[in-house]
A and B are shown apart, each in its own frame.
Chain A
Amino acid sequence: MIFSENILICMALPLLLTVFLVRDNARRLVINFIIGMVACLLGAYVSGFIDVASGYGTEDTAIFISPVVEETMKFLPLLFYFLMFEPEDDRLFTAAVGIGAGFASYENVCSMITSGTESLSLLLIRGLAVGVMHIVSVSVLSLGLMIARHYKVSGLSSMLGALSVGMLFHGVYNLLASERGIPSAIGFCLPLITAILMLLAYRRLQT
């Protein structure tokens, strides 16, 4: 049993103080980082509730339900920011990356405290895989919002489409990572490979 709220307070306080000392993009990134951590905690509450209410079991909830809940929790603040402040694309992307990084960092800290910190190599693999996975999935969410704005048609379809791509990507990762051996090795490589492919596609589109 860990007290995740206490961990959040300890992690968020220095960042909250930083908000008053930095400006512009740095401030936005820090605020979104904190929002990402809060979203992670709220996601854990929702997943915990579903675990108890549905009788799925802790493992199955983590594998099948958590991707749906976590991506929704990341998407909601991003959607709020998008609808209320109508940010430019680069600001929306910064916010998305901040939320993703905050979410991944907080999840990693909680995971480390639960499962131990003896093996540096395992922690590095997990840290990198989860970090990239959350940033990739939240980038897809921001991409969906950008498409919805640029083409001004079928906003609901593109938003739901982006959300579902994020959920599926996260779901595939969780499913693979849940089994030791080759599946988890593939799972840990998946976020990095997807990130590289997305970068390649982005560069291709720019040229």
Chain B
Amino acid sequence: MITQTILILSLSIQIAVVAVMLWLSVKLIGESKKNLTAVFLSFCFAMWLFTDLYWLIYDLMRPESRMPFAANEIGEVAFWLVVAATVDSAIRHQIRLPKGYLAGACLFAVSNAVLWIMWSGEIVEDVVTGAVFVWLFYSIVRSLRSEQALKKPEWIVLAVLCAALILCQSLTFLVPEDVKSIPDLCAYILLIAGAVFFTIQFICACREKLVYAQMFLSFALVIWITTAKYMSGGNWYNLFLTLETPGFVLWYISVRKVVSAV
């Protein structure tokens, strides 16, 4: 009951914040001629606002039942596609991603999709979302590489973090029930560590006044938090849902800096 109340509260706050961000990003479109990123950002916020609204209304009207396939699932998939388009639209230096990075991004997305299928059993939805996540992770890694937002040791740390996370999540299916909480807790610690990692990188980029790196890192941070949300349940889910909201504010602030800088 408390978990449900926190969920509804977090969701309501997120809706209010995203509505304000949507209004501000629409205003941003008129402020610059090179406004494609702002157009896509407005689209992203509009989609997320309606997805959240749909979910909140459903939760309030039918709290006991599991939501069937509905428009919000298509909305979420389209949202990630448009997020990838937003990131792509802001890339200044078109680069070819080295095979190692490409393989890493694809592997992480596919592993996530496999884990979702094992948790929920919704094969079609999870395969479609997984395919979109492959594209999204590819776009994010390419954008970060194009701006040199992470140094080589930081890429290694990120790769180790992702590998350890997938390993811990997989172990929760393999180990006996009485020790399941150990890999589960480790996975949550790694998810928090990932969020902290991207936050630190974002702060560093802010200090160095690297506006494009800031923007791509803010997108990477929110995508990490949402990936963490999809991997979590109960209060952990609520925690990542709550963390998502300031992430959306960071999106707007960093896109505004990029649009103003053009």
- Hey, which bits of chain A sit against chain B, CB under 8 A? 56, 60, 63-65, 67-68, 147, 151, 153-154, 156-158, 160-165, 167-172, 175-176, 179, 183, 201, 204-205, 207
CB distance from A143 to the nearest CB of B (A): 9
Question: What is the distance, in angstroms, from B38's C-beta to the closest C-beta of chain A?
Answer: 11
**Docked complex: B10-60 residues within 8 A CB-CB of A:** 23, 26-27, 29-30, 36, 39-40, 43, 46-47, 50-51, 53-54, 57-58
Q: Are B57 and A172 in contact (CB under 8 A)?
A: yes
**Residue from A65, A153, A162, A205 within 8 A of B89 (CB atoms):** A153
- Assembly CA distance A63 to B67 (angstroms): 12
Report chain B residues within 8 Å CB of A151. Answer: 36, 39, 89
Interface set, chain B 58-97, CB cutoff 8 A to A: 58, 61, 68-72, 74-75, 77-79, 81-82, 84-85, 88-89
**Chain B: interface residue count, which band?**
20 to 34
- B: which residues have CB within 8 A of A? 23, 26-27, 29-30, 36, 39-40, 43, 46-47, 50-51, 53-54, 57-58, 61, 68-72, 74-75, 77-79, 81-82, 84-85, 88-89
Q: Are A205 and B26 in contact (CB under 8 A)?
A: yes
Contact status B71-A67, CB under 8 Å: yes
Give the residue of B36, B43, B71, B88 whose beta carbon is less than 8 angstroms from that of A161: B43
A153 contacts across to B, CB distance below 8 A: 36, 85, 88-89
Asked if residues B81 and A156 are in contact (CB atoms below 8 Å), the reply is yes
Q: Using Cβ atoms and an 8 Å threshold, which residues of chain B touch A60?
A: 68
**Is A158 touching B26 in the complex (CB atoms < 8 A)?**
no
Check B30 against A204 for contact (C-beta < 8 Å): yes
A176 and B88 CA atoms in complex are apart in Å by 36
Tell me, rounded to whole Å, the shortest Cβ–Cβ distance linking B12 to chain A.
Answer: 14
Q: Is the CB of A157 within 8 A of B50?
A: no
CB < 8 Å A-B pair total: 104
Asked whether B50 lies within 8 Å of A183 as measured between CB atoms, the reply is no
In the complex, 21 of the A-B residue pairs with CB atoms within 8 angstroms, ordered by the A residue number, are A63-B70, A64-B70, A65-B70, A151-B39, A153-B36, A153-B85, A154-B88, A157-B81, A157-B84, A157-B85, A158-B43, A161-B43, A164-B74, A164-B79, A165-B46, A165-B47, A167-B71, A167-B74, A168-B47, A175-B54, A175-B57
B43, A168: Cβ atoms closer than 8 Å: no
Query: Are B58 and A175 in contact (CB-based, < 8 A)?
Result: yes
A residues in contact with B36, CB < 8 Å: 151, 153
Query: Considering the chains assembled together, what is the distance between the CA atoms of A41 and B69 in angstroms?
Result: 23
Q: How far is the CA of A26 from the CA of B78 in the complex (A)?
A: 35
- Complex CA gap A160/B47 in Å reads 11
Chain A's nearest CB lies how many Å from the CB of B36?
Answer: 5
* C-alpha spacing A17/B88, complex, angstroms: 49
In contact, A205 and B78 (Cβ under 8 angstroms): no
State whether A160 touches B81 (Cβ < 8 A).
Answer: yes
Q: Is the CB of A164 within 8 A of B57?
A: no
Cβ contact within 8 Å between B71 and A163: no
From residue B81, how far is it (CB to closest CB) to chain A in Å?
A: 5
Cross-chain contact of B71 among A56, A168, A179, A205 (Cβ < 8 A) = A168
Contact check, A172 vs B54: say whether CB atoms are below 8 A apart.
yes
Contacts of B47 in A (CB 8 A): 161, 164-165, 168
- Separation of A160 and B128 alpha carbons in the complex (Å): 14
Is there contact, CB below 8 Å, between B72 and A171? yes
